[in-house]
Amino acid sequence: MMRTLAAPLAVLVRGDGCWVWDDQGNRYLDFLAGIAVNSLGHAHPAMVAAVSGQVATLAHVSNYFATPPEIELAERLKHITGAGDRGRVFFCNSGAEANEAAFKLARRNRANSHGDGSRTRILALRNSFHGRTMGSMALTGKPQMREPFEPMPGGVEHIDSTIEALEKELDETVAALFVEPVKGEAGVVDLPYGYLERARDLCTRHGVLLIIDEVQTGIGRTGAWFAYQHHGILPDAVAIAKGLGGGVPIGALVTFGTASDLFTRGQHGSTFGGNPLVTATANTVLDVIEGDDLIANAAARGQQLREIVARLDSPLITEVRGRGLLLGIGLAEPVALALSAAALEAGLIVNAANESSIRLAPPLIVGDAELEEFERRFGRALAAL
Ligand SMILES: *Cc1c(COP(=O)(O)O)cnc(C)c1O
């Protein structure tokens, strides 16, 4: 494999629920869930049935055709995002591609009230993560990721995640504002209080597209279908991926209102996007989330998980950030890598998002038994440090 990643932590061969096994027979409690992807955990019977049933029916067609699972998923995404009848859905295969589509959408928002087409700026947040393709990387607020690949696609400026910065920068020269509602890759970092509400106001006033990247936070993870729903606002577009397919590669960009009219025929596409295999699987993920009340579970288990971390009462832990089942544990010292290694040793998968943050993103199906195991294993890892 290409040397773009660190050496693998283990070779995993099998999974069941919140557990995975490596090729040495070791069992691990999975509190990373493929980075917020395995919404239903591993080998969920409904997913097994959806994938095998759809493969046996119709796995792929070209974008010259529609399929029932694709139409159904588009309708459901319009509904759960709040986009409603004026919504449109573009299907792709990853989070980066959903943001790439959003970047192109932003370029289509040219006209300002003077009608001179000089709306050229795109704003994104420092420390945000939007993906690894050229466009999504240009949006990503981490200079060390962008610099080896410069020049970037033009027009993107990174601003601080403060209301003051919004008030200073948003005007009719701006085409779009990209926001990650909880910065997952940065170590699960929340926005300031009232940020999204103020962003919505200012974007509406200046004709700026508010584009929310819910690739990590979306599909129930924070205790709502989408994190922006905790704030009572709607975006102009939302990027979705990770948890939507429960493990099959799927991404989507949903547009709202007049933003749905910006792309015209032939302006974007994807060969695999929306194919019946992945959309049928995503429909099943949504079915199980709805049927088993997993959004409420994410909210309740997230609260329990915070209580467990507090009860561990480690001097190393300074705070818990995030919402629902996307939590970041702030550490007093830059030992996140050593702590995640100790956790692995104790049979627990957590993620060192950076040197002083541990990220937790267990499957949405997590229950009492797994939380108890987490407490025991994470406690052992903290003691081993
Ligand atoms: C993971 C992630 C992406 C990129 O998704 P890929 O599927 O890896 O391309 C984009 N935005 C956010 C917020 C993410 O967490």
**Residues identified as active-site:** 129, 213, 242
Q: What is the pLDDT along the chain (385 residues), one digit of tens a residue?
A: 898 988 999 999 999 999 999 999 999 999 999 999 999 999 999 999 999 999 999 999 999 999 999 999 999 999 999 999 999 999 999 999 999 999 999 999 998 887 777 899 999 999 999 999 999 999 999 999 999 999 999 999 999 999 999 999 999 999 999 999 999 999 999 999 999 999 999 999 999 999 999 999 999 999 999 999 999 999 999 999 999 999 999 999 999 999 999 999 999 999 999 999 999 999 999 999 999 999 999 999 999 999 999 999 999 999 999 999 999 999 999 999 999 999 999 999 999 999 999 999 999 999 999 999 999 999 999 999 9
Residues 254, 240: Cα–Cα separation, whole Å: 8
Mutual angle of helices 368-384 and 336-345, in 10-degree steps: 120
The CA radius of gyration of the chain, in Å to the nearest whole number, is 21
Cβ neighbourhood burial of 72 (10 Å; 0-12, 13-18, 19+):
middle
Side chain identity at residue 256, one-letter code = F
Q: Which atom of ligand 1 is nearest to the CA of 93?
A: 7
For residue 301, give the nearest of 275, 282, 327, 283 by alpha carbon: 327
Instruction: Decide: pTM greater than 0.95.
Output: yes
Predicted confidence at residue 268, as pLDDT, reads: 97
Predicted confidence at residue 286, as pLDDT, reads: 98
The fold for domain 12-44+293-384 equals Aspartate Aminotransferase, domain 1 (3.90.1150)
DSSP 112-125: -TTSS----EEEEE
Q: What residues does ligand 1 touch, defined as CB less than 6 Å away?
A: 94-96, 99, 129-131, 180, 184-185, 213, 215-216, 241-242
Predicted confidence at residue 117, as pLDDT, reads: 77
For residue 236, give the nearest of 323, 286, 175 by alpha carbon: 175
Overall size of the chain counted in residues: 385
Instruction: At 67, list the tokens.
Output: 């399929």
What is the Å distance from ligand 1's center to 239 Cα? 9
What is the Å distance from ligand 1's center to 242 Cα? 7
> Pocket of ligand 1, candidates 32, 190, 216: which has the most ligand atoms within 8 Å of its Cβ, to mutate?
216
Residues 331, 359: Cα–Cα separation, whole Å: 11
Predicted confidence at residue 112, as pLDDT, reads: 81
What is the Å distance from ligand 1's center to 241 Cα? 7
Predicted confidence at residue 121, as pLDDT, reads: 97
Predicted confidence at residue 113, as pLDDT, reads: 80
Instruction: At 30, list the tokens.
Output: 């999975």
Q: Does domain 49-291 fall into CATH 3.90.550.10?
A: no
What is the Å distance from ligand 1's center to 315 Cα? 32
Q: Which atom of ligand 1 is nearest to the CA of 242?
A: 7
Q: Locate the domains of the chain by residue range.
A: 12-44+293-384, 49-291
Predicted confidence at residue 118, as pLDDT, reads: 83
Q: Return the beta strands (E) in the chain as ranges.
A: 12-16, 19-22, 27-30, 88-92, 121-125, 156-159, 174-179, 182-183, 189-190, 209-213, 237-240, 251-255, 317-323, 326-331, 348-349, 351-354, 357-360
